[in-house]
Amino acid sequence: MTQELIAPPDAGIEEIERACAGLAGVDPRRLPAEREAAIAQAAALVAAEPAYSMVAARLLARQVAEEVGEGGFAASVEAAHAEGLINEDMARFVAAHARELDALVDHGADDRFTYFGLRTVYDRYLLRHPRSRQVLERPQYFFLRVACGLAESVAEAAELYGLMSSLSYLPSSPTLFNSGAARPQLSSCFLLDSPRDELEAIYERYGQVARLSKYAGGIGISWSRVRSRGSLIRGTNGHSNGIVPWLRTLDASVAAVNQGGRRQGAACVYLETWHADIEEFLELRDNTGEDARRTHNLSLANWVPDEFMRRVEADADWSLFDPKDVPELVDLWGEEFDAAYRAAEAAGKAAHSLPARRLYGRMMRTLAETGNGWMTFKDAANRTCNQTAEPGNVVHLSNLCTEILQVTDDDQTAVCNLGSINLAAHTGPEGMDWARLRATVRTAVRFLDRTIDRGFYPTPEAAAANTAWRPVGLGVMGLADVLFRLRLPFDSPQALELSTRIAEEIALTAYGTSADLAREHGPHPAYQRTRAARGVLHLDHWPDARPHHPGEWTQVRRKVAETGLRNSLLIAIAPTATIASIAGCYECVEPQVSNLFKRETLSGEFLQLNSYLVADLKTRGLWTPQIRDAIKRADGSVQDIAEIPEDLRALYRTAWELPQKALIDLAAARTPYIDQSQSLNLFMAAPTIGKLSSMYAYAWRSGLKTTYYLRSRPATRIAQTTLTQAVTPEAASEAVMCSLENPEICEACQ
C-alpha cells in the first residue's frame, strides 16, 4: 500500500478514529457498522505502517467497552451467570470477592493487543448473550474470568491474570473458552486407542469421538486393530471390507460435530505401517479416484516402527499383515516388536510383501500431494515415555497435532491440558530474562495441574486416564520473535544453543514445580508405574546431552526421588495457531512463513507484516513505497531485493528459504527436554519424492518422535512436481533409493 498515512499512529484515539472514519466516508459516532468501517480502515493501513495494527485494536477495544457498558468485572460475571453461561462455583467466588477482583482489572493492558489478536478474542472468545449475541465481557474481564475459574484465592487469580493480561502466557483454547463457564471442558487433546475388532466396539468409539469433539477437543484415534480388506469374518463366512468404510463413517461424524459452533470438529487417524490396508489408507485424502473411498475431514498419520525405517535404508522387503492374524503387534514396540514381526513373517502370516522403499515412496507422495500422512515414530515415542515403564503400558498414537504422547487402552482415553509461554514477552535487549521465564513456568505448571481437577470430562475413559496420570503439556510460542530481537538467524549455531537452553530451563523448572506439587498434594495415582519412580527422568534417555545446569538436574532428581511427581508428563510444544495470534507473536517454535501475508481465519482476513523487518528498514532509511511494493511483489520475501542489506536478508528468511535440516536440528536438540513431543511442520515449496525421502529419514535418524504437516506451495506446482516423480511405484522407489544412497545431492537437508 502506497497510500499516505491519515494520522500518526501515536495520535489521540479520537483524532485517529475521526481520520479513519473520514477516509471511509462514515461517521463513527452514529452506528456500530460505521464504527466497524473506521476500524477496518485503520487495519488496512498496516501494510504501510505496522503500528496501525495497534491503532485498529485500540479502536476495537473502545467499541467493545461501549457494547459491554458500565459496571465492573463482578457485574459482568453476574450478568453472564444470569444467562446460564457461568457455573455456580465461579459465580460464588466472584460474588464473595467482587471488590478485590474489580480492582485487579487493568483495561490499559488492552493496548498490548494487535488488531488480529483482539479481533480473534472479540469474535471467538468473549462471552455473549445467548439471544441478542451482545458481548458480556471486555477483554480484561475475559482474562480474569479464565483466571478465576482456575483459582482458589484472589491472590492466585491475580497471579494468573497478570501473566495473561501481559500476554506472557496463555492456556489453550478450550481453557480460554470454558474456564469458569457452565460446562468447563478445559482439555485440548484426546487420544483413543484403536477399537477392538468388533462391530459394537467400533460404534462405541464413534460415540466417544462425537462426545469428545462436541466439547472442543481435538481427537487422535488409532485404527490399527481393525481387520484389513478381504479378511475372513467367521461369524458370517464373509470377507471384511477393511478399514476404509469405517473411516468414511468416522469422517462424516467428525464433520457433523462442530465443537459447539466455535470451531470445526477435527480428528487424526493413526495406522501402523504393517497394516495390510496401509496403501488404501494413504489414498484417503487423494483428490482423484473413487470418492466412496476418500475422506475429506480426517487427518492421517503413519505410526512407523524403526524396523520399517531400517528396511527402507537396507532396500529390503516389508511385509503387511491382517491384524486379526497378528493381534500382538499393536501392543509391542522396540526389540519385542522386531522379534514378533520377524516371527510372523517366518510363520507365513503376511498378507503380502513389497519393497519397503516402494511403500516409503508412497508415504512421501501422500505428504507431497496433501500435506497429510504425518510421519510419527512408534519406537522413539515408547522408548522415552515416562508412562511406559511397565509391560502393557503402550503409546499407540499421538494426537491431532502430533505433540501428545501418552499410553492408551480400551479403558483409558489419554487427555492433555495445554498452555504456552510467550517467549517474546521474556526477552529484553540483552537476551532472555531467565528468572522471569522460570517464574512463569512455575505459575503455568500449577494452573495446568489445576485444570485436571476443575475440568469436565465428556467420557469416563477420559476422566479415568487424566486423573490417574495427571499429564500436562507446557509449550512455547514466539521463538521467531526472540531470534529476530536478538538478531540470530534461525539456522545459526547461536540460535540452536539458545533454543536448547530455553527448552532445558522450562523442563528443569517444570519438573521441580511438579515435585513441589507432589509434596503438597501427593504424587499422581499412577506414579509407581512410571520410569520416574524408578529413578529415570526423560533427559536420561539422551546420555550425550550436555545440559547447562547439571547440578540443578541432580537436585531435581533427588527431590523427585523424595516426593514423586504430581504429573506424569509435563512438556509438549503445540502449534499455538490461535493463542499466538492473541499474544501477537509467531507460532510455537516455527520460523515465519512470510514477511508480508494475508491470514484467513474464522474472524476474517488479516494483513500481517513483519514489524521487526520494518523497524530495521526504517532505521536504515529503507522503508519506502518502492521497497514495500517490492516485498509485496516477492510474496513477502526479501531475498532478491538488492537494496536490502545482506545481513537483513539472512535474518529475515522465511520458512521456505531456510534449510529444513536446521529446523530438524533445532527440534532434535530440544527433544531431551520435551517429555511428550512437538508439532514440527516442515516446509518445501516444490517437494519431490527424493527430497522428502532424505528429509524424513534424517528426522528419524535424529531421534525425533513425531513430525506434523509438510507445508508446500503453490498447490498447482506441487502436484506437477511430485506426480512426475511418483506416478508409478517404480519411480517412487527409485527416487527414494537415490536420495537415501546419495544424501549429499539432496537439497532438502542442506
Q: Are residues 389 and 469 in the same domain?
A: no
pLDDT of residue 746: 40
Same domain, 179 and 200: no
Least reliable range by pLDDT among 16-25, 373-382, 650-659, 704-713: 16-25
pLDDT 10s digits, 27-60: 666 566 677 888 888 888 888 888 889 989 999 9
pLDDT at position 611 is 93
**215 plus 302 within the same structural domain:** yes
Of the candidates 137, 283, 369, 403, the residue annotated as catalytic is 403
The set of residues, in sequence order, having a beta carbon less than 8 Å from that of 324 and lying 6+ positions away, is 197, 227, 228, 231
Residue 276 belongs to domain with CATH number: 3.20.70.20
Note if 401 is an active site residue: yes
- Write down which residue in 564, 599, 634 finishes a domain: 599
In a domain? residue 156 = no
Task: Kindly state whether residue 366 falls inside one of the protein's structural domains.
Answer: yes
The domain boundary residue, chosen from 599, 628, 648: 599
| β-pair partners for 421 | 169, 476
Give residue-wise pLDDT tens across range 102-111.
999 999 999 9
Question: Which of 275-279, 467-471, 522-526, 594-598 shows the lowest per-residue confidence on average (mean pLDDT)?
Answer: 594-598
Please tell me whether residues 200 and 106 are part of one structural domain.
no
pLDDT above 80 (res 231): no
Residues 421 and 453 in one domain: yes
Across 57-66, 486-495, 633-642, 736-745, least confident range? 736-745
| Of 218 and 510, the one with more pLDDT | 510
- Whether 385 is a known active-site residue: answer no
Model confidence at 649, pLDDT cuts 50, 70, 90, reads: very high
Residue 381 lies in a domain: yes
Burial class (CB in 10 A: 0-12, 13-18, 19+), 712: buried
Look up the domain containing 94 and give its range.
13-151
Provide DSSP, 237-271.
TEEEE-HHHHHHHHHHHHHH--GGGTS---EEEEE
pLDDT at 16 over 90: no
Residue 266 and residue 119 share a domain: no
- Number of domains observed in the structure of the chain: 3
State residue 723's pLDDT score.
38
Q: Are residues 378 and 230 in the same domain?
A: yes
Do 372 and 434 have their domain in common? no
Q: Mark whether 422 and 459 lie in a shared domain.
A: yes
629 part of a folded domain? no
State yes or no: is 178 an active-site residue: no
**Do 552 and 435 lie in a common domain?**
yes
Q: Both 181 and 198 in a single domain?
A: no
Of 559, 580, 599, the residue at which a domain comes to its end is 599
Q: Would residue 747 count as lying in a domain?
A: no
Q: Which of 401, 588, 746, 749 is catalytic?
A: 401
Q: What is the pLDDT of residues 549-566, one digit of tens each?
A: 999 999 999 999 999 999
Give the number of other Cβ atoms within 10 Å of residue 622's Cβ. 17
**Does 3 have pLDDT greater than 60?**
no
For the record, the C-alpha cell of 640 comes out as 532478491
The answer to whether residue 741 sits within a structural domain is no
Whole-number pLDDT of residue 28? 62
**Are 104 and 173 in the same domain?**
no
List the catalytic residue out of 178, 302, 393, 399: 399
The angle formed by the CA atoms of residues 454, 460 and 464, to the nearest 5 degrees, is 70
Confidence of residue 264 (pLDDT cuts 50, 70, 90): low
Classify 377 in phi/psi space as left (phi over 0), alpha (psi -120 to 50) or beta: beta
Cell, residue 330: 499393536
426 HSE (CA, 13 A, CB side): 25
The pTM (predicted TM-score) of the whole model is 0.93
Give a yes or no: residue 750 inside a domain. Answer: no
User: Does residue 27 lie within any of the structural domains?
Assistant: yes
